[in-house]
Chain A
Amino acid sequence: EGQLVESGGGLGQPGGSLRLSCAASRFTFSTYWMHWVRQAPGKGLVWVSRINSDGTSTNYADSVKGRFTISRDNAKNTLYLQMNSLRAEDTAVYYCVRAQYSSSNGMDVWGQGTTVTVSS
């Protein structure tokens, strides 16, 4: 059915950087679009970014454009999110999410999430 395991979260300084990773298993990673979705404490779900199956096309929410970079390594079955110029409002649980096979923006399998806290 698919499994996703995020890592790399933690405490980041304002203006600093963090790199999130997401290890995929139990499905053919290289054939799926992938997303990052975040959830601030006590708040709802907000889409952050997506990448196509071969990594040649990416999209970002306006709030992270120019600061975050999504990428993937299909040989390692791993998705990444490079987060630069961190702000307090980036504090959230970050979920790695698999797109539905039949729709690049649909979402089906979610990881457990990794927590990012931006604070000095």
Chain B
Amino acid sequence: DIVMTQSPDSLAVSLGERATINCKSSQSVLFSSNNKNYLGWFQQKPGQPPKLLIYWASTRESGVPDRFSGSGSGTDFTLTISSLQAEDVAIYYCHQYYTTPPTFGQGTEVEI
């Protein structure tokens, strides 16, 4: 199984400041035939299901604010919130869908 490791486990960011979450996979999730990274990011607020933010490592899901961006390739990925808003307080998970079983990082808790 591919192991996904996020860092940090938690971070506190001031309103309007940048938040950066890292995700490392134990093997590459880049599929060479289509040059796509099979990596997504989810946001989960308390009492709610996860919500897809980013797929193919850097494609923003429809309706997701543009302050959220994803980057990286191969085994190293980053989710950036460019200007943290109060409603962004949540746990963020990276997710690889390159192989079965699909796996998730342990989560990163973002607070103000």
Contacts and interface: CB of A to CB of B under 8 A. Distances in A.
Interface of A: 35, 44-47, 50, 59, 61, 95, 100, 103, 105-113
Interface of B: 38, 40, 42, 48-52, 55, 61, 93, 95, 97-107
A108 B55 contact: yes
A68 to B, nearest CB: 13
Contacts of B55: 100, 106, 108
A50 B100 contact: yes
Contacts of B99: 105
B contact patch SS: loop
B68 to A, nearest CB: 15
A109 B42 CA distance: 11
B93 A44 contact: yes
Given A44-B93, A113-B49, 6 more contacts: A45-B107, A106-B38, A107-B97, A108-B55, A110-B51, A111-B49
Given A106-B40, A106-B55, A44 B107 contact: yes
Given A105-B97, A106-B97, A45 B38 contact: no
